[in-house]
Structure formats: structure tokens, C-alpha cells
């Protein structure tokens, strides 16, 4: 790698961490941000510096996506770490946190180590594992939370599987707290949601799909909030998607509980009716909700109640999707479409640009204690150069993920990644 | 030689407009298409009552029955419909096919499609299966029941039975009673009856009425006497026995007491009421034999007869649009 310093000039800097949105330049040395110049006047640059003229494009911190699945290890036909990393780089995502529900499950330090070593060899984007909260992510016995944290996992979660046994959940929360490890949990009442392929309501009734009522999310969240209160632990609520649960969450926050919530780009962008004539690419977990719920989620992001947005990237190959709806695998790829899909809310005037970007940069980075996600002196040089207004039509077949299951296929979006930089290295250029 | 009955002859000579390649859902149809199908089916009823029943409208065509769920009634109804129209009929059942060896629905469909059938009739336990299949094959697909979604030929035969019994459908009030939640028959009937101007009510315990069904422009009743009061047609639905054992209803006897159709409850309906059931019936569970077997009240046998005719109408309409050289 060239150790020659690089300057990104003639750009609009957008740095949610400092609240700056304006002209400026960023100088990168040895993979680290050496200087951030705010304002139009860059001054004189040393001749040794390689200059990248941004031509007025937007320069953002690289995106931090804390809920990503690949198929490695175990189901590499879906996605490998490398294909996911390529998709991430093309989407302006410079750090990804992997879910532990692989084969084998990431429930002990050697698997954490395996993933970190594989990621290092790929040298594209930063890859961090999350560990399972329970052995085998089966919700019964605690996994080696302390050892996994030591090995480098960023938080613990059983991914899509709720920890049903409240006693187990309580122990996980208190134990993890002692090691200062964040616990993430997806709120879903397992009995109400068992076998469901859609959200309960007129649409699912008409289509004859097995469905789950929206309150299944609230019921489990209420339990989790009570356990957080009991244990004093921190909890990451993995994907708030319903109005009812958002209300519960708001009350928990008002009480001062240490809870943070994410939502997914899918639940911000689509509602249940997008399933249409049984489009299995719109089958995600939790299922797409009503338009009222979607609006409530957008509002919760706009008001800052939901602080983090994830792609919920979950590759599923065609053979798992080209099935009758109730048999098809859930999940949607999203690494490459996260940024342009998010920008929709800026273009529609719903959410200020800086708040949208915060939810995918400094907010998740701060949550997990990562130095990334900001344009600050000394921070890793993870950057995205982006044309905010360039139109694009998503063509699922052209996405870099091994699986092409994108609900955004055919969607017209605005906002194109021009260049992605990780630790000062250009890992993607349009 | 088969003599075409005069009524049928007249209908066949009309120029039909049925611009659909598949027959998947009642919601794909419009009122005119339904009226044409019913007229055509009416003609086939007369034909089916003759000794010589065979026509050559589907001569040279191949009809495949692909039933992933057991069905005696519907499968033989389609088989007879195809044969009476002169088609070659093949019945595929998943237990003897590759489906049990892990082949997907699409792979099976593509394989069968390569054998150049003209019409593929499918029944499958998953909602949307017929629609999925239709996107992957070149022949016409007929939905013979997909999960809890639709059973459009059943709705057509039910409409035919009602039209013949009452001379009209517009203005009839029809109570659909029982397990509406799991019923594709109910969903297709609600859509079709409303299109034809009937008033539809749903009757059943709250556990068996779909969520937000009140948005379907139907009245919902949990008291059966109230629900069938003054109605012209009581359409009973089958309730699977295992759902009655404390799952969706506490017990068979409790279910029969409150939601089973007997003389006493039937007396609340209009004096000329007719009773329907898509079959197979659970006698003494959702319907009393006394009611089911009373031919002055029950249309249940007619429904079976109308089934063959209605399916002949559907197959004829679809085949009229099939190319001779594909």
C-alpha cells in the first residue's frame, strides 16, 4: 500500500459525530484521518499529497452495519465473507458485524477467531463477529460470553431466535453486564409468531397466509424491558418494526433504561402489501408490517427514538426463494442498497440527511465502541464518496452478493457510491 | 354420436371473451366473464344428463391433474370434465412422484411442462402455489385449491347451484358458516358472490374468522341464529376434526351445539332457505344428517353435479385460447 498521504478535496463533508455539514477536505495518512479541514479554504497542500478532487460530491464516514449474515462458515452457497465484503464495499459499508447463526454457530472463541482471520485475509472491509448469547443459539445454556468478547466479538445475540426462557434471558443479561458486553435480542413472542409468514391483517387474511399479530413484538419487548430493569443491563433491541412496540420502547427509554433500538431498511422501505402476488423476495424476518407500522418506524427514526438502522442483510439463494410463500426462506440482501434506500427519506424530505447518516455511522460505532463512523483526526480513514442525487435503478442480478434476493429489484433510487475507502485504501470505485 | 343439447349449442356459438391464460383466482375475473362461464356451465349440465356425454372440444389436448393434497371429489370432477370434452387426462399424485424425493414444486412443474400438457390443474397446501406455478410453465394453469387462499372453480360451481335454485344471485343473502379462517372455499365465494351482487355474512366463533375480515364488506356474527336469520343460503364449511379438540374450538360437541347446522337453527333462515356444503361433510359435527340429506333443502348433491359442468366451462374457455402450435 502506498503510504503517500491522500487529500479528498472539493467535497461536501457530512459528519454526524461533530454535526458538521459543509464544504471541506480530508487528509489521510497511513490509513488514518490526519486532518479534517472544515470550510471552503483548503489552504496550500504539500506536493507529496495525492489529491482526489471530489467535484462537489458528498464525503461521509464509511457505513457501519451491525446486522449482517453471510453463509460462512457452513452455507457458502448463499454468501461467503468475501462476496459479502465486496457487496459491502460497493455499498459504502466499511464495517460489518456478522450474526452468529452460522454452521457451526459462533458460540465459542475459536469460531470468533476463525472469522476474524478469514476477514483479515480478504482485506476489504472491517469484519467483526457477534457471538451467540446461548450455546448453539438454542436459548438454553449460556455461551462463553467472556471468552468470545476477549477474542473480539462485539456483542452477543441469538440472531433471529428469541430467547424464550425468561430465566435464561435474565442470566444472559446479568452475566454479560459484568463483562460489559452488549446483549441484542429480537423481540418476538415465539408462540404467536410460530409458523407465520406474514403480518396479521386484512392483506394476510385475503392472501390466506399464516400470520403473526403485531403485538407479538410488543409482548416480548415488554418482558425484555422488565428484565433490563431488574438486572440493570444494557440491551440492544434488534429491529423495532411495529407501532405498539415503539410505544413500549419509548416508555422504557423515558424510565431511563439502558436500551437502544435498531430497525431495518426493509421495514422502513416496504409494507405488507409489497408482497403482492406472493413475492418471496419480500419475505423477511420479522415479516413486513402494515403501512401504519411503517410510518411509525419512520417517525421513530426521525425523532431519534430509534438510533440505529441496519441492512439486515440475509442472503438466500434462488432455490430457497423460488418456493411457495410459506415454504420460502426469509431474508433479503441489503448491503449494497442500504445507502441509496436510506437516502430516499432525505429526498422525500422526511428525515434530515445528517440524522439518516448518523444512524448508519457514528450511532452504531458509538454503541459498539468502534473508532470508525466519524470524520475526525485520528479516526480510521473509512470514507465514502457519494453522488447524492445520481439516479439508479436497482438490478438484483447485478448485485455483488452471491444471492440476489433483493426486494429493491427494479426500484428507482437516488444516490450513488463513487468510491469507498477502508483504512485509507480504495476498496471500491464506480 | 353425441348430440349437443340445444341450450349448449346456442352458448357455444356465442363469441366468448375469456382473455386469460390461467384460471387462478376469482379476483382475476369480471362479471361478464363469470356470466359467460355460468351460461356455458349450464349448457354442460344438460349434456352431462344425456347418455352420450362426450364432446370433442378438447380433442388432442392433454390435461394433467397435479394434486399435492388428497382429493377424491375435485380430482375426479376435473378428470371427468376433461374426458367428457375429449381431452387425454393424466393424474399425478405427489406420493408416487419425485416430490417425495425432495424435488421442488418448480422443478416438478418444469418437468411436467416439458411433456407438453395443455392444461395443468394444481392443488397444493401452500397459498400462492398455483400462481407461482403459472409463472414457470407455458401451458394454462387451473387453481384447484391453493392453501388457504382460493378455490375458484368451487366458487363457480356454488354460484351455478345458487343461480339454478333461485334463478338469480343478485340480492341473495348468503351466510358462510364455520371455519372461514382456514377456508379457501370461503375466500373465493366471498369475492365471487359480492361481484354478482349477493349479500354475504360470515358466521363462526372468533377463533375461526380471519383477522380484519370486517373490512371485506361482510357482516360478521358469532351467534349462528342471529347470523343466519332470514338468509336465503346457508353455506356450511368443513372444520377439520383435529382443530376442534381444544384448538380452535373446545370440543366437537360444543362446536355442534353452537355452530353446527340443525333444524332448530335452520328455522331462523328464510322459509325457502337452501343449504350448501363443499364437502366432505363431518356429519353430526358441523351439519346434522337430517338437514344434509333433505333434498328439499340441501343443494349438496347438486353442487357435486355442477362441479363437473363448471369445470368443463373453465377448461373449454381456457382451451379456446390455446395455440395449436406452440
Interface test mutation site (partner A, options B211, B218, B247, max chain A beta carbons within 10 A): B211
Q: Region B148-159: what's the mean pLDDT?
A: 98
Q: Which residues are CB-contacts of B6 (< 8 A; sequence separation ≥ 6)?
A: none
CA atoms within a 13 Å half-sphere pointing along the CA-CB vector of B142: 31
In this predicted structure, the answer to whether residue B326 has a pLDDT above a threshold of 50 is no
Q: Tell me which residue in A201, A204, A323 faces B104 most closely, judged by beta carbons.
A: A323
Q: How confident is the model at residue B99 (pLDDT cuts 50, 70, 90)?
A: low
Residues of A in contact with B216 (CB under 8 A): 202, 206
Beta bridge partners of B63: B89, B119
Give all strands (DSSP E) within B180-276, no chain letters.
199-203, 219-221, 233-236, 274-276
DSSP string, A23-50: EEEEEEETTEEEEEEESS---PPPTTSE
Nearest-by-CA chain B residue for A209: B127
Nearest-by-CA chain A residue for B131: A277
In this predicted structure, the answer to whether residue A3 has a pLDDT above a threshold of 90 is no
Q: Torsion-angle region of residue B48: left (phi > 0), alpha (psi -120 to 50) or beta? A: alpha
Interface test mutation site (partner A, options B25, B128, B150, B179, max chain A beta carbons within 10 A): B128
Question: What integer pLDDT is reported at residue A45 of this predicted model?
Answer: 73
Beta bridge partners of B121: B65, B142
Q: Region B83-98: what's the mean pLDDT?
A: 83
Q: Region A224-235: what's the mean pLDDT?
A: 97
Q: Region B169-173: what's the mean pLDDT?
A: 97
Interface size A-B, in CB pairs within 8 Å, comes to 64
Q: Tell me which of A172-181, B9-18, B111-120, B209-218 is least confident.
A: B9-18
Q: How confident is the model at residue A313 (pLDDT cuts 50, 70, 90)?
A: very high
B127 with A206: Cβ contact below 8 A: no
Angle, CA of A341, A264 and A340, to the nearest 5°: 10
Q: Region B121-135: what's the mean pLDDT?
A: 95
Interface test mutation site (partner A, options B25, B108, B125, B126, max chain A beta carbons within 10 A): B126
The per-residue pLDDT for range B11-38, each reduced to its tens digit, is: 888 767 788 999 999 999 999 999 999 9
Distance separating alpha carbons of residues A118 and A121, to the nearest angstrom: 5
Phi first, then psi: give them for residue B142, nearest 5 degrees.
Answer: -115, 125
In this predicted structure, the answer to whether residue A1 has a pLDDT above a threshold of 70 is no
Question: What integer pLDDT is reported at residue B102 of this predicted model?
Answer: 65
Residues of A in contact with B213 (CB under 8 A): 202, 205
In this predicted structure, the answer to whether residue B97 has a pLDDT above a threshold of 80 is no
- Give this prediction's pTM: 0.92
Q: Tell me which of A403-407, A413-417, B239-243 is least confident.
A: B239-243
Nearest-by-CA chain B residue for A320: B104
Q: How confident is the model at residue B321 (pLDDT cuts 50, 70, 90)?
A: confident
In whole numbers, what is the pLDDT of chain B averaged over residues? Answer: 92
B103 touches chain A (CB under 8 A): no
Give all strands (DSSP E) within B188-290, no chain letters.
199-203, 219-221, 233-236, 274-276
Nearest to A236 by CA among A186, A280, A190, A194: A186
Distance separating alpha carbons of residues B161 and B304, to the nearest angstrom: 9
In this predicted structure, the answer to whether residue B139 has a pLDDT above a threshold of 80 is yes
Beta bridge partners of A412: A393
Q: Which residues are CB-contacts of B96 (< 8 A; sequence separation ≥ 6)?
A: none
Chain B from 282 to 321: CB within 8 A of any A CB: none
Residues of B in contact with A206 (CB under 8 A): 187, 216
B212 with A325: Cβ contact below 8 A: no
Chain A from 204 to 223: CB within 8 A of any B CB: 204-211, 213
B147 with A324: Cβ contact below 8 A: yes
The per-residue pLDDT for range A89-135, each reduced to its tens digit, is: 999 999 999 999 999 999 999 999 999 999 999 989 999 999 999 99
Beta bridge partners of B160: none
Nearest to B182 by CA among B158, B214, B204, B153: B204
Q: Tell me which residue in B106, B148, B216 faces A208 most closely, judged by beta carbons.
A: B148
A323 touches chain B (CB under 8 A): yes
Secondary structure letter of residue B100 according to DSSP: G
The per-residue pLDDT for range B274-314, each reduced to its tens digit, is: 999 998 999 988 999 999 999 999 999 999 999 999 999 99
Q: What ipTM score was computed for the predicted complex, to two decimals?
A: 0.89
Residues of B in contact with A319 (CB under 8 A): 104
Q: Region A409-416: what's the mean pLDDT?
A: 96
B147 with A322: Cβ contact below 8 A: no
The per-residue pLDDT for range A34-57, each reduced to its tens digit, is: 999 998 777 777 778 899 999 999
In this predicted structure, the answer to whether residue B1 has a pLDDT above a threshold of 50 is yes
Q: How confident is the model at residue B57 (pLDDT cuts 50, 70, 90)?
A: very high
Nearest to B258 by CA among B185, B203, B187, B200: B203
Straight-line distance from the first to the last Cα atom of chain B, in angstroms, rounded to the nearest whole number: 30
In this predicted structure, the answer to whether residue A146 has a pLDDT above a threshold of 60 is yes
A322 touches chain B (CB under 8 A): yes
Distance separating alpha carbons of residues A65 and A311, to the nearest angstrom: 7
Distance separating alpha carbons of residues B55 and B47, to the nearest angstrom: 9
Nearest to B106 by CA among B82, B93, B122, B90: B122
Chain B from 196 to 255: CB within 8 A of any A CB: 210-213, 215-216
A208 with B127: Cβ contact below 8 A: yes
Report helix, strand or coil for B145.
strand
The per-residue pLDDT for range A325-348, each reduced to its tens digit, is: 999 999 999 999 999 999 999 999
Distance separating alpha carbons of residues B272 and B260, to the nearest angstrom: 19
B150 vs chain A: nearest CA distance in angstroms? 8
Nearest-by-CA chain A residue for B184: A208
A327 with B126: Cβ contact below 8 A: yes
Q: Which residue has the higher pLDDT, B116 or B96?
A: B116
Q: How confident is the model at residue B325 (pLDDT cuts 50, 70, 90)?
A: very low
CA atoms within a 13 Å half-sphere pointing along the CA-CB vector of B110: 8
A278 with B216: Cβ contact below 8 A: no
Q: Region A306-328: what's the mean pLDDT?
A: 95
Phi first, then psi: give them for residue A65, nearest 5 degrees.
Answer: -110, 110
Question: What integer pLDDT is reported at residue B324 of this predicted model?
Answer: 55
- Parallel, antiparallel or unpaired: strands B173-177 and B199-203: parallel
Chain A from 337 to 356: CB within 8 A of any B CB: none
Q: Which residue has the higher pLDDT, A331 or B97?
A: A331
Q: Tell me which residue in B105, B129, B149 faces A207 most closely, judged by beta carbons.
A: B149
What share of chain A in percent tops pLDDT 90? 96
Question: What integer pLDDT is reported at residue B98 of this predicted model?
Answer: 53
In this predicted structure, the answer to whether residue B101 has a pLDDT above a threshold of 80 is no
B184 with A327: Cβ contact below 8 A: no
The per-residue pLDDT for range B281-290, each reduced to its tens digit, is: 999 889 999 9
Question: What integer pLDDT is reported at residue B125 of this predicted model?
Answer: 92
- Parallel, antiparallel or unpaired: strands B199-203 and B62-67: unpaired
Q: How confident is the model at residue B100 (pLDDT cuts 50, 70, 90)?
A: low
Question: What integer pLDDT is reported at residue A187 of this predicted model?
Answer: 97
Beta bridge partners of A261: A237
Residues of A in contact with B212 (CB under 8 A): 200-202, 205
In this predicted structure, the answer to whether residue B10 has a pLDDT above a threshold of 90 is no
Distance separating alpha carbons of residues A41 and A358, to the nearest angstrom: 26
Chain A from 260 to 279: CB within 8 A of any B CB: 277-278
Amino acid at each position: 500500500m502506498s503510504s503517500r498521504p491522500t487529500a479528498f478535496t472539493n467535497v461536501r463533508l457530512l459528519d454526524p459525530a461533530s454535526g458538521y455539514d459543509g464544504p471541506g477536505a480530508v487528509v489521510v495518512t497511513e490509513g488514518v484521518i490526519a486532518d479534517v479541514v472544515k470550510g471552503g479554504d483548503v489552504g496550500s497542500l504539500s506536493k507529496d499529497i495525492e489529491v482526489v478532487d471530489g467535484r462537489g460530491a458528498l464525503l461521509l464516514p464509511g457505513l457501519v452495519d451491525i446486522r449482517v449474515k453471510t453463509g460462512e462458515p457452513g452455507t457458502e452457497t448463499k454468501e461467503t465473507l468475501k462476496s459479502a465484503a465486496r457487496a459491502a464495499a460497493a455499498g459504502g459499508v466499511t464495517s460489518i458485524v456478522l450474526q452468529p447463526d452460522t454452521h457451526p454457530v459462533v458460540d465459542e472463541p475459536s469460531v470468533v477467531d476463525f472469522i476474524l482471520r478469514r476477514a483479515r485475509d480478504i482485506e476489504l472491509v472491517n469484519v467483526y463477529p457477534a457471538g451467540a448469547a446461548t450455546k448453539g443459539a438454542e436459548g438454553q445454556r449460556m455461551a462463553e460470553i467472556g471468552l468470545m468478547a476477549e477474542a473480539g466479538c462485539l456483542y452477543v445475540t441469538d440472531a433471529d431466535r428469541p430467547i424464550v426462557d425468561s430465566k435464561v434471558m435474565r442470566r444472559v443479561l446479568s452475566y454479560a453486564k459484568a463483562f460489559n458486553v452488549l446483549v441484542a435480542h429480537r423481540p418476538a413472542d415465539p408462540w404467536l409468531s410460530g409458523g407465520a409468514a406474514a403480518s396479521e391483517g386484512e392483506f394476510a387474511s385475503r392472501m390466506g397466509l399464516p400470520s403473526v399479530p403485531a403485538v407479538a413484538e410488543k409482548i416480548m419487548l415488554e418482558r425484555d424491558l422488565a428484565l433490563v430493569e431488574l438486572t440493570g443491563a444494557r440491551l440492544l433491541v434488534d429491529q423495532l418494526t411495529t407501532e405498539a412496540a415503539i410505544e413500549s420502547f419509548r416508555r422504557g427509554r423515558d424510565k431511563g433504561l439502558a436500551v437502544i433500538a435498531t430497525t431495518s431498511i426493509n421495514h422502513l422501505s416496504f409494507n405488507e402489501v409489497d408482497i403482492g402476488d406472493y413475492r418471496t423476495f419480500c419475505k423477511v424476518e420479522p415479516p413486513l408490517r402494515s403501512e401504519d407500522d411503517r410510518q411509525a418506524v419512520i417517525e421513530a427514526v426521525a425523532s431519534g427514538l430509534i438510533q440505529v438502522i441496519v441492512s439486515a442483510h440475509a442472503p438466500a439463494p434462488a432455490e430457497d426463494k423460488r418456493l411457495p410463500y410459506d415454504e420460502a426462506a426469509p431474508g433479503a440482501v441489503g448491503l449494497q442498497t442500504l445507502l441509496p434506500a436510506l437516502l430516499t427519506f432525505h429526498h422525500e424530505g422526511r428525515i434530515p440527511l445528517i440524522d439518516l447518516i448518523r444512524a448508519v455511522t457514528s450511532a452504531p460505532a458509538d454503541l459498539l465502541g468502534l473508532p470508525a463512523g466519524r470524520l475526525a483526526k485520528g479516526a480510521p480513514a473509512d470514507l465514502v464518496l457519494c453522488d447524492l442525487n445520481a439516479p439508479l435503478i436497482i438490478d438484483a442480478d447485478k448485485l455483488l452478493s452471491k444471492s440476489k434476493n433483493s426486494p429493491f429489484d427494479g426500484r428507482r433510487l437516488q444516490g450513488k457510491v463513487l468510491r469507498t475507502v477502508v483504512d485509507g485504501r480504495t476498496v471500491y470505485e464506480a | 354420436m353425441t348430440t349437443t343439447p340445444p341450450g349448449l349449442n346456442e352458448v357455444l356459438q356465442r363469441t366468448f371473451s375469456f382473455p386469460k391464460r390461467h384460471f387462478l383466482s376469482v379476483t382475476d375475473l369480471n362479471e361478464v366473464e363469470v356470466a359467460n362461464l355460468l351460461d356455458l356451465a349450464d349448457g354442460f349440465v344438460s349434456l352431462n344428463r344425456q347418455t352420450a356425454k362426450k364432446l370433442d372440444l378438447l380433442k388432442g389436448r392433454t390435461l394433467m391433474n397435479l394434486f399435492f393434497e388428497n382429493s377424491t371429489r375435485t380430482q375426479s370432477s376435473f378428470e371427468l370434465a376433461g374426458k367428457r370434452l375429449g381431452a387425454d387426462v393424466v393424474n399425478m399424485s405427489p406420493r408416487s412422484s419425485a416430490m417425495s424425493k425432495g424435488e421442488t414444486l418448480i422443478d416438478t412443474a418444469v418437468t411436467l411442462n416439458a411433456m407438453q400438457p395443455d392444461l395443468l390443474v394444481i392443488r397444493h397446501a401452500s397459498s400462492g402455489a398455483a400462481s407461482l406455478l403459472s409463472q414457470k410453465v407455458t401451458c394454462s394453469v387451473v387453481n384447484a385449491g391453493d392453501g388457504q387462499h382460493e378455490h375458484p372453480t368451487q366458487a363457480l360451481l356454488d354460484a351455478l347451484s345458487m343461480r339454478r335454485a333461485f334463478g338469480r344471485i343478485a340480492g341473495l343473502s348468503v351466510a358462510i358458516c364455520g371455519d372461514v379462517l382456514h377456508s379457501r372455499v370461503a375466500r373465493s365465494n366471498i369475492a365471487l358472490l359480492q361481484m354478482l351482487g349477493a349479500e354475504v355474512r360470515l358466521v363462526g366463533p372468533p377463533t375461526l374468522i380471519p383477522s380484519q375480515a370486517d373490512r371485506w364488506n361482510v357482516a360478521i356474527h358469532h351467534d349462528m341464529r342471529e347470523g343466519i336469520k332470514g338468509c336465503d343460503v346457508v353455506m356450511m364449511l368443513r372444520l377439520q376434526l383435529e382443530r376442534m379438540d381444544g384448538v380452535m374450538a373446545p370440543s366437537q360437541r360444543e362446536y355442534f351445539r353452537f355452530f353446527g347446522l340443525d333444524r332448530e337453527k335452520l328455522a331462523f333462515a328464510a322459509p325457502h332457505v337452501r343449504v350448501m356444503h363443499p364437502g366432505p361433510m363431518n356429519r353430526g359435527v358441523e351439519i346434522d344428517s337430517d338437514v344434509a340429506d333433505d333434498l328439499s333443502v340441501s343443494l349438496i348433491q347438486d353442487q357435486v353435479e355442477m362441479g363437473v359442468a363448471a369445470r368443463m366451462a373453465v377448461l373449454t374457455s381456457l382451451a379456446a385460447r390455446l395455440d395449436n402450435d406452440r
